[in-house]
Structure 1
Amino acid sequence: MNRSSVRLLHALRPDGRNLWMVGDAKQSIYRFRGASSFNMARFGKEDFANGKRGRLKRNYRSVPEIVESFSSFATTMCSGDADSGLEAHRDGKGQKPELRTVQRAEQQQVALADAIEQLRSEGFAYRDQAVLCTGNEKLSTIGQDLERLGVPVLFLGSLFERAEVKDLLALLSVLVDRRAMGMLRVACWPDFTTSFSDVAAIFEHLRAAEHPSGSWLQHVDAIPSVSDTGRQTLSKLAIALSGFDQTASPWTVLATLLLDRTRIAARFGVSEDLADRTRGIAIWQFLNFMRVQPAGRGLPITRMLDRVRRLVRLGDDRDLRQLPAAAQHLDAVRLMTIHGAKGLEFGGVHMPGLNSDTIPRTPPAPPCPAPDGMIAGAEGSALEAYRAGQAEEQECLFYVAQSRARDRLILYAPTEKSNGHSRPLSPFLDRLGSALTRRSVVPARPLPVAAEARGVELVIDGRLRFGAPQIALYESCPRRFFYTHVLHVGGRRTTTAFMHLHEAVRSVVEAVIASDVPVTEQELTDRTDTALADEGLGEHGYRAEFRDLASAMLRFFLSGRAGAIAEAPVAVSINLGGEEILVEPDEVLMRPDGIRAVRRVRTGHMRSAESKDVGAAALILAVKQAYPGAVAELVHLSDGEASELSLSDRELKGRTDKLSKFLGDIRAGRFPAEVSSRTCPNCPAFFICGPTPDGPLQKKFA
């Protein structure tokens, strides 16, 4: 409990009579909620001075081999002591806790699946086994991998990021998106299978035409280059969505589609496959979510899609991750966080990721730490108390995870990173002593490739040609690059008022660069007001603050041009192995000191690696090629700084090699997704990111 709860108990029962308290400081894993074992240390002393203390020593859950393991660890914990060990009530089975190491991370899930099947053959049902991790994102990855390996799992994870739910979200987006980018996922459905070439033809047609959202389905015969099979499939889709448009209720659309116009719900209903049952549960959960959407302005489907993005971005979808009670009887492996497993027990417990970079994890300092002296019982500064508490909690997490197992406990860890460097094991393992057996395993089968990770069959006519910002996007997320610059359906991110502010500043910057006439203070003010109004901020509640921010950025931009002669920027073509990178500087200035500056102007803040990424390398290569003796600069208006780019010969060669590799990967159709809970919900391709239709995709870039 937290300190406030103890004070409340004092107020309710000052003398402590008839109060009975139980706790285990070694299982204190809810510090983020304010809980602290500090209260236990004060019991019978500063708090409830007449209280009596005792210690429970007998463990009725686990076999002696497992009790010995977590007891050995307990005696070395910050919250433990030499008397923290427990005695097992049960008889031993001769199976000590085991550490199974593999070489690479992708082999870990295969070793995990093999161990699950091994325990099942020994009499442990799937439902009596649990995989415990420190975070939900890792559990989601493990769950998907285990399903591909044929192991049934009982885990929903992030509901809106499940494949079957994203399929439905993509379908709904077809009704409100003029580009119909959701067809990328719909074309992968068995009910509406469409070739990649046909989907590409649809996109090309919609880019050239001006159809209202969703109306193109009524005119599929007018789409050129679509195969006869493709037209038949599109006609089936048109019939399935008949009567619905962008004003339709999303719940009505999907309920009608799933139950009346397709066999999708029926297939899930009769399937004996545990994975299908879990998918059915996820869809049921999603339909319940849609049925109770709050009323609001705008199109219902668009409003719902925006709400989904917001829920995922803020992590407010956690209630939707809970499985219904009726699903608990399913014979499937439980996937849980250690926090979620507290208080539960399983015949076999599996804990992957026992590496030093996973547990104990060193969290970043809190953005707003408590003032020094505010935390009762803390020693040192508030930051020192926070770090000490986090280190203690990491020990408690490991203790809780071990003590969930009744009969078998198996730990896993890869020993190498993806680059071949050594990946150290968790130091917690050495503290288990002789209670832990270790062995290295080499899985006999590979981990099946996820559908969304498979390469695209890209047939390219001629050489590749991309701009430096485009290739920089490939570095940050190859999948988004694919949607944006190969398929041309990526669109813009979901905009906010601050993003509109930056667009307004960007438009003024571009106008200043395009004009040879100096800008007066009054002209700058007028242009700023006009640009803000054009972006819809003219009547915004924070219009004055936005105007001040925009003015500060623009004044810094103009100050950097003072006394310099602006030259017309010229696009520079860089040839790399027959492929082409096109670098277009935002402006070129000849300064009074005779130094020419080739500049890239950005309205935002500088990213930590921006001065060293491939975009920066491309700009340096362009300057060396077309502007000998000039300097390359990155200008960030929000920071009020202009940074000169400088890479050593070794660094520049490394970035050049990386550029060449990226171009080779693009030609080979390799576009893996860089998954991030922070950036993905804002991505234009959030609802379609995943598998692509079968068949080749023909493209010409130059």
Structure 2
Amino acid sequence: MNFIIDFDKHYPDSKTITLHRNYRSTQNILDSANRLIQYNPDRLDKDLLSHKAAGDAVVFSNLDDEHDEAYWIARQIKRLHDEGVSYLDMAILYRSNYLSRTLEKVFMNLNIPYIIYGGLRFYDRQEIKDVMSYLRMVSHGDDLALRRSIATPRRGIGEKTLDKYFEKAKNENVTIYEAMKTDDSASKRIKDYVNMIESFKKFYEENGSIESLIYKILEDSGLRKAFEKAEEIERLENVKALIGEAKEFQDNTGEGIAEYVQMVSLYGDREEVLDGEYIRLMTIHAAKGLEFDTVFLMGMNDGIFPNRNSVLESKHGITEERRLAYVAITRAMHRLFVSSNAGFNYVMSQRNKPSRFIKEMEHKETVHDVRGIRQSESPDKRYMKKFQRKLSLRPADVVVHDDFGEGIVLKVDTDTVKIAFNHPFGTKTIMRNFSGLRLKGDLT
């Protein structure tokens, strides 16, 4: 980059021709990009001018938590789609892969078709399947979970050994794990694996916390070391997001590991959209060179974007992050929505605050969508108020739960509501003030 900036110093006879005209984005979008990049030092002075009109204002919104942010995005998408904008003309960009999790669940609950462009859906990612295989072993010990957990990390137990236990299990009409557990002549490696799984089961029976169990699995199984050795920071971020989800699931539902495994299976087993209309979800890096009529830039929180690790690891980190934000903004042709949230971030272990880039992007034509958000209140007060409101419900109402999906209200009490959810969850009693419960069709 310095070579380009200092090019005329190295070649004094050269002539610089600045290309100001932009044929992709409206002027309001370009004004946000121009304002942002001005904060980078040692840059070539260039402001883009649009070949188009000013266009729609860039819209910013800071929501209460990641669930509200996802529903806010879904609400804008539904409105635009009803107005005739194709799903194919809309894209959602984010700095880190783990941010797709909540959005994917909301889209599945609301039947909004989507694909992960250039990547995998959250529950299809290798590290998520690895951790879930251990949770499934603790929950019910199915054969597929055993084969995955016994091979990740590798334990020196080969296919011939597994085939032997498969035959033993078939003859005894038990699972492979039960066949291993009852084999007095098992090898040390098999016994070590069985002892590890039994220790996880005992830990959960005594502790009852899925969050704590996952941390123990990461340490005792060797998964954490495997991720760190491979410098797989992104995989660790995804696992931390899963831990946060597990904690919220238990805190909000009071359910245990069997129900959590069922919930993940329900979302993970849904078929991926392969044709027709769909929205593309992708990282900003994957979006380079692409353009869309409408872009949603989500997760605009300090530490996420600009990325905390990038800023700490390099003196030019913030400059590079700002250039990446510039790329994200200029993917939009006609509409740009920028969102952040004030919820707790389990990956960074802190409450979110809006990205510094939002302030840098603002200009006189930008708009802040503050519907339902009390800007005068602190994030903590706004967060607690979510748990003070009670949803107005009646028997036979159709509702959508963030984890259990669609259900029908059977009975409403003062503080709780009894709901019959679709298979495999069945009937459950939910607190009426749970923020992840909404009437079907209500995206507020």
- Relative to 1, partners in 2 of residues 1:129 and 1:429: Cα closer, same or farther, differing over 3 Å? same
Q: Alignment partner of 1:154: what SS? A: strand
Task: State the alpha-carbon separation in 1 of the partners of residues 144 and 274 from structure 2.
Answer: 34
Corresponding letter in the other structure for 1:51: S
Query: 5+ residue gaps in structure 2?
Result: 147-162, 176-222, 236-272, 374-390, 392-397, 406-422, 428-444
Offset at 1:425? 1.6
- Equivalent in 62, 68, 72 of residue 25 of structure 2: 62
- Equivalent in 282, 293, 306 of residue 360 of structure 1: 306
Offset at 1:435? 3.0
What corresponds to 2:356 in structure 1?
427
1:272-327 deviation line (CA, Å, top 9, x unaligned): xxxxxxxxxxxxxxxxxxxxxxxxxxxxxxxxxx9xx8899665999xxxxxxxx9
- Equivalent in 404, 421, 426 of residue 331 of structure 2: 404
Offset at 1:332? 1.1
- Relative to 1, partners in 2 of residues 1:165 and 1:358: Cα closer, same or farther, differing over 3 Å? closer
What corresponds to 1:39 in structure 2?
3
- Relative to 1, partners in 2 of residues 1:180 and 1:424: Cα closer, same or farther, differing over 3 Å? closer
Task: State the alpha-carbon separation in 1 of the partners of residues 321 and 131 from structure 2.
Answer: 40
What corresponds to 1:73 in structure 2?
36
- Equivalent in 181, 203, 209 of residue 141 of structure 2: 181
1:107-149 deviation line (CA, Å, top 9, x unaligned): 1111111111122223221111111111222235533443333
- Equivalent in 103, 109, 115 of residue 148 of structure 1: 109
Offset at 1:43? 1.5
What corresponds to 1:131 in structure 2?
92
- Equivalent in 370, 387, 400 of residue 440 of structure 1: 370
Q: Is the 8 A contact 2:29 2:332 kept in 1?
A: yes
Q: Is the 8 A contact 2:74 2:107 kept in 1?
A: yes
Task: State the alpha-carbon separation in 1 of the partners of residues 401 and 53 from structure 2.
Answer: 40
Corresponding letter in the other structure for 1:213: Y
Task: State the alpha-carbon separation in 2 of the partners of residues 350 and 84 from structure 1.
Answer: 25
What corresponds to 1:332 in structure 2?
278
Q: Is the 8 A contact 1:62 1:403 kept in 2?
A: yes
Offset at 1:428? 1.8
Following superposition of structure 1 onto structure 2, how do residues 220-239 of structure 1 map, counting pairs within 5 Å?
A: none
Number of corresponding residues = 279
What corresponds to 2:197 in structure 1?
none
Higher relative contact order (CA 8 A, sep 6+): 2
Offset at 1:183? 5.0
Offset at 1:77? 3.0
What corresponds to 1:483 in structure 2?
none
RMSD of equivalent CA atoms: 4.7
Q: Scaled by the length of structure 2, what TM-score is found? A: 0.51
Bigger Rg over Cα:
1
Q: Is the 8 A contact 2:90 2:294 kept in 1?
A: yes
Residue 53 (1) aligns with residue 5 (2): no
Corresponding letter in the other structure for 2:8: G
- Relative to 1, partners in 2 of residues 1:80 and 1:122: Cα closer, same or farther, differing over 3 Å? farther
- Relative to 1, partners in 2 of residues 1:166 and 1:160: Cα closer, same or farther, differing over 3 Å? farther
Q: Alignment partner of 1:106: what SS? A: helix
Task: State the alpha-carbon separation in 2 of the partners of residues 328 and 155 from structure 1.
Answer: 11
Offset at 1:328? 8.2
Residue 215 (1) aligns with residue 176 (2): no
1:220-273 deviation line (CA, Å, top 9, x unaligned): 6689xxxxxxxxxxxxxxxxxxxxxxxxxxxxxxxxxxxxxxxxxxxxxxxxxx
Task: State the alpha-carbon separation in 1 of the partners of residues 6 and 125 from structure 2.
Answer: 52
Offset at 1:96? 0.2
Q: Is the 8 A contact 1:69 1:435 kept in 2?
A: no
What corresponds to 1:449 in structure 2?
402
Task: State the alpha-carbon separation in 2 of the partners of residues 417 and 76 from structure 1.
Answer: 28
- Relative to 1, partners in 2 of residues 1:164 and 1:340: Cα closer, same or farther, differing over 3 Å? closer
- Relative to 1, partners in 2 of residues 1:695 and 1:140: Cα closer, same or farther, differing over 3 Å? closer
Corresponding letter in the other structure for 2:402: V
Offset at 1:347? 0.4
- Relative to 1, partners in 2 of residues 1:60 and 1:120: Cα closer, same or farther, differing over 3 Å? same
Corresponding letter in the other structure for 1:58: R
- Relative to 1, partners in 2 of residues 1:342 and 1:399: Cα closer, same or farther, differing over 3 Å? same
- Equivalent in 254, 263, 288 of residue 342 of structure 1: 288
Q: Is the 8 A contact 1:145 1:447 kept in 2?
A: no
Task: State the alpha-carbon separation in 1 of the partners of residues 33 and 128 from structure 2.
Answer: 44
Q: Scaled by the length of structure 1, what TM-score is found? A: 0.34
Q: Alignment partner of 1:70: what SS? A: helix
- Relative to 1, partners in 2 of residues 1:164 and 1:447: Cα closer, same or farther, differing over 3 Å? farther
- Relative to 1, partners in 2 of residues 1:98 and 1:79: Cα closer, same or farther, differing over 3 Å? farther
What corresponds to 1:91 in structure 2?
53
Q: Is the 8 A contact 1:63 1:407 kept in 2?
A: yes
1:648-701 deviation line (CA, Å, top 9, x unaligned): xxxxxxxxxxxxxxxxxxxxxxxxxxxxxxxxxxxxxxxxxxxx97689xxxxx
Offset at 1:157? 7.2
- Relative to 1, partners in 2 of residues 1:70 and 1:358: Cα closer, same or farther, differing over 3 Å? same
Offset at 1:182? 2.8
Corresponding letter in the other structure for 2:103: I
Task: State the alpha-carbon separation in 1 of the partners of residues 128 and 107 from structure 2.
Answer: 21
